[in-house]
Amino acid sequence: MSRVGTTLMGVLLIALGACGKPAEQPPQKSNLSDDLVGTWFAYRDNVIENMWTFRKDGTCINDGWPSARVLSGAPALPYHLEGAYRVGDDRITVTFALESGEHDTVVLYEPDITRNRLVYSVGDAPVVYLRERTAVGHEMAAAADSGAIDPDLPHKLVGSWVALTDGFPVNTWKFNADGTFENEGWSRMNPRMLLVRRLYQVTGRYDVSGQRVVLANERVLQFDPETNKVDVEVPISERIVLYNVVISKGRLVYTNEVGLPVAFRPGVVSPTHW
């Protein structure tokens, strides 16, 4: 696998195919093809980390400024890739031309565009981008809340959801049918281990209002990093809103209170499994 392919797999979380000629693709999907044209940004820690530009003529650009580190522990390097793309019924296939004359093929599965957000899956991990010139910031989150209302959202929301970064869980939601919820934060035990630890758990009650989920936080538990047992328990009274909540193609997507998109897939997390 080329260095370009390795970088795409490890940092961008987009699926990499073998080098060679691109495979025959399904027919074009016209609506998605039209909506896809433009520039899209992916964020990490409120900073742009990756950018797609899709043009009408079928060419595209992918730029990355990774904040993650590769397996050696060294920082990943910025990059600029140019290629061509084709939209099919359940995927976007991108072929990058390499200087060697070979090709790297990248497949973005189950693409979906809702409310200026481009979402696709890499394996079972959802990735979300925000359309260029979509304003972000705390004051813009409520303004971004628009579009048709899904009357089945309260039912679809019930269950457990996990967000991943670089293939590891970083956040989970559990929405219960009785109106209670749990939100947990996770991190890797260290960069060279395939284990994660729970950082905190927030519990409270939630209510679905249109395409918003309004959270009433009631308690925070903080966990000891060595024992994974509760270290601190703090009662709180705090209201938080998830805006533009959409559940489509098995993924939970919303805009957070600083105006940035977040994507989850169904799943639960333990220190050794997710």
**pLDDT (tens digit per residue) in 132-152:** 877 666 555 655 566 678 999
Diameter over CA atoms, the chain: 61
Query: In 10 A of CB 157, how many CB atoms?
Result: 21
The residues, any chain, with a CB within 8 Å of residue 87's CB and separated by 6 or more, are 28, 29, 32, 33, 36, 111
pLDDT at 89 over 50: yes
pLDDT at 256: 93
Q: Where does the chain show beta strands of DSSP type E?
A: 15-16, 38-44, 47-54, 59-64, 79-87, 91-97, 103-114, 117-122, 125-131, 159-165, 168-175, 180-188, 196-209, 212-223, 230-248, 251-255, 261-266
CATH topology of domain 138-266: Lipocalin (2.40.128)
The residue count of the chain comes to 274
Local confidence band at 52 (pLDDT 50, 70, 90 cut-offs): very high
pLDDT at 102: 86
Residues 198-218 have a mean pLDDT of 96
CATH topology of domain 3-131: Lipocalin (2.40.128)
Average pLDDT, the chain: 84
Which two tokens mark 50?
Answer: 């990756």
Query: In 10 A of CB 40, how many CB atoms?
Result: 20
pLDDT at 274: 74
Please report, in angstroms and rounded to a whole number, the separation of the first and last CA atoms in the chain.
27
The residues, any chain, with a CB within 8 Å of residue 139's CB and separated by 6 or more, are none
CA distances from 187 to 8, 132, 165, 209 (A): 22, 30, 10, 31
Is the Cα dihedral 215, 216, 218, 220 positive or negative? positive
pLDDT at 167: 87
Give the closest residue to 86 by CA, choosing from 62, 112, 55, 125: 55
**pLDDT (tens digit per residue) in 163-177:** 998 889 999 999 999
In the chain, which residues fall in CATH 2.40.128.280?
A: 3-131, 138-266
Local confidence band at 209 (pLDDT 50, 70, 90 cut-offs): very high
Range 221-255 burial, b when 16+ CB lie within 10 A, else e: bebeeeeeeeeeeeeeeeeebbbbbbbebebbbbb
Which two tokens mark 16?
Answer: 């990499």
